[in-house]
Structure 1
């Protein structure tokens, strides 16, 4: 067998699934300890090895440790968060306002992963029909970094309550570069057992078996063995 085709060991496989299941969107558990340069380099390299349509690699990485820049970003968040809170009246609005939804200043490092929508030129292989594949590809870079960070014991929080135009202006991005993910990063005091929004009663994880269709939308999956395996896997996570 070619060494490149060798399957992962059982321990390596468990580690991969553990990173997936224990990844968390971190907002409130950040420690002040800096991320060592070699660790950050590994995380960025993991992100850079994400798959991309047409191998366009549309991502760039803005490493943000400036308090001035981060305070400006926090101001954008606070403005947009006030607007978002208006969508939830009554008790839900009270609960929304109690949630910690960013760690921009508490985390020792912020990272913005951008998408250069012009990278690869006018005609990128595989992008002719679905032009958004550059954005999808950049999301895969975010996920690569997030899972690698969990394996390194580093928490990541995605701040999505931001006006993208104001963020782009703050970071002085070129017109063709879109600020896809603004991330807070750092070592943490703990990784919560459940996603924070689940533990706070905002939403629960949907049952996987209710999200699987057979061949066409809405048709039940006619595979009892797979459904039983999904049920058993769900119970093993509890």
Structure 2
């Protein structure tokens, strides 16, 4: 029998620091990410929990320069439309000043999909909550994110986009649904405080306001 590991106070403190330094990165250096680190990140993601052990995550690595530019232009357009739709002019101006992605400079781009009909898992646990498949893929993304950060590598989640457009560009099976477009690389200036908080967009609020009892 394998003995259970002991996570001592030093480990717990280090883990807390990892969570605090896991930031959504938008400013990347162009330094390549070692393949060994990428492989380790994928291995870590595969350890994420999944409903019925379905492991529905599917990773598409985008290596085509033309496709990179196409996606960057699409996100720029979607961002401009989102800013124009904001009713408050001051907030819209602040939005336009934000850097919302690193698609052009991040050395690694990953599109992460959820297989909506995986053979693995045989449907266990999701008969009444099919969305648990997507939750599983999000857990894999978060696990990959932590595995990246512990190696000094940053991740940026690009969410201002049309999922159907991105999916069509990547030519994946029809049963796959886009969950995330990620920029991965070394941050220009690592920070423990979220960039949106540093730029005055939104501060982190107290967790006490989000805990309820019934």
Task: Give the TM-score normalised by the residue count of structure 1.
Answer: 0.85
Alignment correspondent of 1:93:
92
CA contact (8 A) 2:51 2:121 kept: no
- Counterpart of 2:150 in structure 1 is 151
CA separation in 2, counterparts of 1:74 and 1:188?
A: 18
- Unaligned stretches of 5+ in structure 2? none
Separation of aligned partners in 1, 2:157 and 2:9: 31
Q: State how 1:45-194 maps to structure 2 within 5 Å.
A: 45-88=43-86, 89-120=88-119, 124-194=123-193
Aligned-partner Cα distance in 2 for 1:210–1:22: 23
Pairwise CA RMSD: 1.5
**Alignment equivalent of 2:29, drawn from 3, 17, 31:** 31
Q: In the TM superposition, what whole-angstrom CA distance separates every residue of 1:189-233 from its partner, at most 9, and x where no partner exists?
A: 32123101111111111111111112x2xxxxxxxxxxxxxxxxx
Question: Which runs of 4 or more aligned residues in structure 1 lie more than 3 Å from their structure 2 counterparts after TM superposition?
Answer: none
| CA offsets 1:162-199 (integer angstroms, 9 cap, x no match) | 10000001111111101111000001232123101111
Cα drift, residue 153 of structure 1: 0.2
Query: Aligned with 2:58: secondary structure?
Result: strand
Partner of 2:3: helix, strand, or coil? helix
**Does structure 1 retain, via aligned residues, the 8 Å contact 2:55–2:120?**
no
Report Cα offsets for 1:94-137 as digits up to 9, x if no partner.
00000000000111110111101010379510000101011100
Equivalent position of 1:226 in the other structure: none
Q: Tell me, what secondary structure is at the counterpart of 1:60?
A: strand
**Which residue is 1:7 aligned to?**
6
- CA distance in 1: counterparts of 2:205 and 2:125, whole angstroms: 32
Post-superposition offset of 1:9: 2.7
Cα distance in 2 for partners of 1:122, 1:12 equals 33
Q: Bigger radius of gyration, 1 or 2?
A: 1
Comparing 126-135 with 114-123, greater Cα deviation is found at 114-123
Aligned residues: 213
Unaligned runs of 5+ in 1: 217-238
1:202 aligns with 2:192: no
Question: Deviation digits for residues 41-68 of structure 1, max 9, x if unmatched?
Answer: 0001111111000000001111123211
Counterpart Cα distance in 2 of 1:194 and 1:3: 39
Distance 1:121 1:111 in 2: 23
